Structure 1
Amino acid sequence: MKPTLLILAAGMGSRYGGLKQMDELGPKGESIIDYSVYDAIRAGFGKVVFVIRSSFAEAFESRFEPRLKGKVETEYVFQELENIPAEFTVPEGREKPWGTGHAMLMAKDVIHEPFAIINADDFYGREAYESAFRFIQQHPDANQYAMVGYPLKNTLSDYGTVSRGVCETDNEGYLKDITERTKIGKENGDIFFYEGENKTRLSGNEPVSMNFWVFKPSFFDHLQNGFNKFMSEKGQELKSEYYFNTCADQTIKSGLATTKVITTNAQWFGITYKEDKPKVQNSIQQLTQQGIYPADLWRP
């Protein structure tokens, strides 16, 4: 059975100012999602599951279905604020869903095979998908996971702060700890993460999670248990979010699973702010000129 690619595409792009999931960046109007799916198919993935919002489902499907039909199996699931277990309620005034862990749970009923999970607005590079596919082929154990890690300094924006999961590994390359830093930025050539009035310098060489992980279906049980605990403790807060990174970290520390950090030389770039767009377009143009991607990605 071929593995699945799960794409988190429900974010509304508040800092970006629009649906960056569908922004045209390639020579024939391709989005970053197009390149992610193209690389996944080349690597050997057989299905793509999109986590989206119902408010833009029609526009999203009408764009991607013609491109992907006959090339890969597709499924669509929806992340909405009210999609939570029946014993919990949405607090008055909450506007956004509950984070990446909540988004991932929307796919638990349609994924029954090993899978990789990615962000819709991050360009991970061909090598990353090939590495993920190899790991799945070589590690069939239900409790062996993996994360594709990138050096922090290569994942920042020139136009504002970013959120990153900063990782610590053991001598064999297995993940020991991951800390979600929601505000990392550059200042006078140095890199800091900010917490209120405090700031802490980082070297820039720390491996970080860009939300490219490899999981087995067993992870959904851990995720659901963790989300239920989160909702019991923080479900009435207006802005708290549940990250699947956090669940993975807790699963590792409890001894229920291991996670190998796959270091990659693949080129990463992404869009957080509108000002990032020209740089991404230029990077894609260079990769196209180098022959890594065809000028018309989905040409028959």
Structure 2
Amino acid sequence: MNHIFDRKLSHGNNKERTPFSAVYLAAGLSSRFGYRIKCLQEVGRLGETLLELSIRQLAKYGLSDVIIVVSRSTYPKVHLVAGDIFQGIPVTYCFQETPSYRKKPLGTVHALLCAKDVVDKAFIVLNGDTLYGEHAISNMVHHIQLNEIPCMPGYRLIDVLPREGKVNRAIVNTQHDWLVNIVEQYDISMEDIRNGLYTGNELTSMNIFAFRPDIFGFMENKLKRWLEQNPHEPSKEYILSTMLNDLYAETGKRTRVFETRNVPLELTNPEDFGYVKNNLDLVGF
């Protein structure tokens, strides 16, 4: 069931801006967070959830509507916070269903495709557990206005690693600010930079991209082929970064990459909560 609202409201001087949609991926429950919903963690100074702060940041740049991809498990609590209209912005909910043979969802390409029937304009797709920062968001909107879509911000590796522990990161290789490829690297830590395995200046993807609705046809075909090749795969995923690699390799369509000086705030581990709450100034709050 989708809740679709056609109401359009202007925000400030947004009449002069190119309207765009935001698609939030919020269908997952985090085992690291005790199966709590990370986007609903109250990291704001006044108790605002991470999702609320993120929507407010986007609203300043011409956001026309919000589409939240949820699961049957996450929908009730997400809807309780975001409602059907959030600060004058209409909210739509789309459900991502996980096949019974799977241990986890099919990945971010499948999640985004769950919203294809309600997206009718340029859109930014992003994680619900990350605050991406003013510089990154304003540049995304700027590139939408220039029709440079697909596009994405590239964050310096040193700025996206946790203080402690290891994470997976997607290293972005570019040529003249155009994407060459995105390569997933696993179990990276600050120690790897200290040991010289990475310089720290490598660009990385934090799973925020801008597209137009015409991307959905390519995505559907790629996911269909992936499912045919992995008919009983219980946990592997087909993700947006892999899809962008395929887009360039198979169609020659390029993705614009711009380096951002923002340090994003992400809830990966429970110990990140305090850091995010105490460093909101890094992303413009």
Question: TM-score under structure 1 normalisation?
Answer: 0.83
Q: Greater relative contact order: 1 or 2 (C-alpha under 8 angstroms, separation 6 or more)?
A: 1
Superposition CA RMSD, Å: 2.0
1:152-180 CA-to-partner distances (Å, cap 9, x unmatched) read 1110113322222111100x200011112
Matched, 1:33 2:51: yes
Instruction: Write the distance in 2 (CA, Å) between the matches of 1:121 and 1:264.
Output: 19
Cα shift at 1:24: 0.6
Instruction: Write the distance in 2 (CA, Å) between the matches of 1:272 and 1:251.
Output: 28
Question: Is the 8 Å Cα contact of residues 4 and 47 (structure 1) preserved in structure 2?
Answer: yes
Number of the residue aligned with 1:4? 21
Could you say if the C-alpha distance between residues 127 and 232 of structure 1 is closer, same or farther in structure 2, counting changes exceeding 3 Å?
A: same
Question: 3-state SS of the aligned residue for 1:202?
Answer: coil
Number of the residue aligned with 1:145? 150
Number of the residue aligned with 1:16? 33
Unaligned 5+ segments in structure 2 are 1-17
Question: 3-state SS of the aligned residue for 2:82?
Answer: helix
1:129-155 CA-to-partner distances (Å, cap 9, x unmatched) read 111111111117xxx310111001110
Matched, 1:49 2:53: no
1:203-244 CA-to-partner distances (Å, cap 9, x unmatched) read 221111001111111111111111111111123121111101
Cα shift at 1:54: 1.3
Aligned residue pairs total 267
1:135-174 matches, within 5 Å, as 135-139=143-147, 144-170=149-175, 172-174=176-178
Q: Residue type matched to 1:241 in 2?
A: E
Instruction: Write the distance in 2 (CA, Å) between the matches of 1:256 and 1:220.
Output: 16
- Most deviating of 159-168 and 203-212: 159-168
Could you say if the C-alpha distance between residues 287 and 167 of structure 1 is closer, same or farther in structure 2, counting changes exceeding 3 Å?
A: closer
Question: Is the 8 Å Cα contact of residues 37 and 74 (structure 2) preserved in structure 1?
Answer: no
Could you say if the C-alpha distance between residues 80 and 159 of structure 1 is closer, same or farther in structure 2, counting changes exceeding 3 Å?
A: farther
Cα shift at 1:283: 0.5
Instruction: Write the distance in 1 (CA, Å) between the matches of 2:160 and 2:199.
Output: 13
Could you say if the C-alpha distance between residues 188 and 21 of structure 1 is closer, same or farther in structure 2, counting changes exceeding 3 Å?
A: same
Instruction: Write the distance in 2 (CA, Å) between the matches of 1:214 and 1:112.
Output: 13
Among 237, 253, 260, the alignment partner of 2:249 is 253
Question: TM-score under structure 2 normalisation?
Answer: 0.87
Matched, 1:75 2:92: yes
Instruction: Write the distance in 1 (CA, Å) between the matches of 2:198 and 2:87.
Output: 46
1:172-207 CA-to-partner distances (Å, cap 9, x unmatched) read 200011112243223376378xxxxxxxx2222111
Instruction: Write the distance in 1 (CA, Å) between the matches of 2:206 and 2:282.
Output: 21
Matched, 1:126 2:131: no
Question: 3-state SS of the aligned residue for 2:204?
Answer: strand
Instruction: Write the distance in 2 (CA, Å) between the matches of 1:276 and 1:4.
Output: 28
Q: Residue type matched to 1:8 in 2?
A: L
Instruction: Write the distance in 2 (CA, Å) between the matches of 1:104 and 1:248.
Output: 13
Instruction: Write the distance in 1 (CA, Å) between the matches of 2:162 and 2:27.
Output: 21
Among 97, 102, 110, the alignment partner of 1:102 is 110
Cα shift at 1:30: 1.0
Number of the residue aligned with 2:274? 278
Among 177, 182, 185, the alignment partner of 1:178 is 182
Question: 3-state SS of the aligned residue for 1:187?
Answer: helix
Among 199, 202, 217, the alignment partner of 1:206 is 202
Question: Is the 8 Å Cα contact of residues 158 and 190 (structure 2) preserved in structure 1?
Answer: no
Instruction: Write the distance in 1 (CA, Å) between the matches of 2:232 and 2:87.
Output: 44
Unaligned 5+ segments in structure 1 are 83-89, 193-200, 294-300
Instruction: Write the distance in 2 (CA, Å) between the matches of 1:6 and 1:42.
Output: 16
Could you say if the C-alpha distance between residues 276 and 69 of structure 1 is closer, same or farther in structure 2, counting changes exceeding 3 Å?
A: closer
Number of the residue aligned with 1:269? 265
Q: Residue type matched to 1:247 in 2?
A: M
Cα shift at 1:267: 3.1
Cα shift at 1:73: 1.8
Number of the residue aligned with 1:232? 228
Number of the residue aligned with 1:198? none
